[in-house]
Amino acid sequence: MQKVFDNTQIGPMVWKMRVEVPRMVARAKAGQFVILRVNENGERVPMSIAGLDKENGLLTIIYQVVGKTSALMTTVPDGGEISDCVGPLGLPSHVDNWGTAVLVGGGIGIAPIYPIAQAYKEAGNKLHTIIGARSKDLLFYEDEHKAVADELHICTDDGSVGHHGFVSDILKQLLDSGEKIGMIMAIGPVIMMKVVANLTRSYEVPTWVSLNPLMIDGTGMCGGCRVSIGDETKFACVDGPDFDGHKVDFDLLTSRLGAYKEQERVAMKRFLENPGCKLAKAVETFKYPNEVK
Partner 1 sequence: MTEQMPKKERMKIPRQTMPEQEPDVRNHNFKEVPLGLTEEQAVLEANRCIECKKAPCIPGCPVEVDIPGFIRLVMDRDYAAAARKIKETNSLPAVCGRVCPQEEQCEIVCTLHKKFKPVAIGYLERFVSDWERENNLVVLPEIAPPTGRKVACVGSGPAGLTVAGDLVKLGHAVTIFEALHKPGGVLVYGIPEFRLPKHIVQAECDFLAEMGVEFQNSTVVGKMDTIDELFEMGYDAVFIGTGAGLPNFMGIPGENLIGIYSANEYLTRSNLMRAYDFPNNDTPIIIGKNVAVLGGGNTAMDAVRTSLRLGADNAYIVYRRSEAEMPARAEEIHHAMDEGVQFHMLTTPIEFIGDDDNKVKAMECLRMDLGEPDASGRRRPVPIEGSNFIMEVDLVVVAIGNSSNPLIPQTTPGLDTNKWGNITVNDDTMLTSRKGVYAGGDIVTGGATVILAAGAGKKAARAIHKYLMEEVEK
Q: Which residues bind partner 1 (CB under 8 A)?
A: 23-24, 27, 37, 41-44, 68-69, 83-89, 216-224, 226-228, 233, 235, 238, 252, 255-256, 258-260, 263-264, 266-267, 270
CA distances for 15 relative to 5, 31, 72, 82, angstroms: 12, 20, 11, 15
Residue-wise burial string across 110-136, b where 16 or more C-beta atoms lie within 10 A, e elsewhere? bbbbbbbbbbbbeeebbbbbbbbbbee
Q: What are the percentages of helix, strand and coil residues in the chain, rounded to 5?
A: 30, 30, 40
Dist CA 273 CA 265 (whole Å): 12
Peptide bond into 88 cis (omega under 30): yes
Taking the least distance from each CB to partner 1, the nearer of 122 and 232 is 232
Shortest Cβ 254–partner 1 spacing (Å): 9
Shortest Cβ 35–partner 1 spacing (Å): 9
Which residues lie closer than 8 Å to 174 by C-beta, 6 or more apart? Answer: 102, 128, 130, 181
Shortest Cβ 229–partner 1 spacing (Å): 11
Shortest Cβ 101–partner 1 spacing (Å): 26
Shortest Cβ 275–partner 1 spacing (Å): 17
User: CA nearest 109: which of 132, 89, 91?
Assistant: 132
User: CA nearest 189: which of 141, 138, 151?
Assistant: 138
Residue-wise burial string across 239-250, b where 16 or more C-beta atoms lie within 10 A, e elsewhere? bbbbbebbebbb
Q: Are strands 14-20 and 58-64 parallel, antiparallel or unpaired?
A: antiparallel
Taking the least distance from each CB to partner 1, the nearer of 45 and 108 is 45
Taking the least distance from each CB to partner 1, the nearer of 232 and 244 is 232
Shortest Cβ 123–partner 1 spacing (Å): 23
Shortest Cβ 190–partner 1 spacing (Å): 14
Taking the least distance from each CB to partner 1, the nearer of 112 and 132 is 112
Taking the least distance from each CB to partner 1, the nearer of 13 and 24 is 24
Shortest Cβ 211–partner 1 spacing (Å): 13
Contact predicate 64/279, CB 8 Å: no
Ramachandran bin of 162, using left for φ above 0, alpha for ψ from -120 to 50, beta for the remaining angles: left
Residue 93 DSSP label: P
Dist CA 1 CA 166 (whole Å): 41
Taking the least distance from each CB to partner 1, the nearer of 82 and 103 is 82
Taking the least distance from each CB to partner 1, the nearer of 123 and 259 is 259
Taking the least distance from each CB to partner 1, the nearer of 170 and 236 is 236
CA distances for 147 relative to 23, 106, 114, 118, 160, angstroms: 27, 18, 10, 10, 22
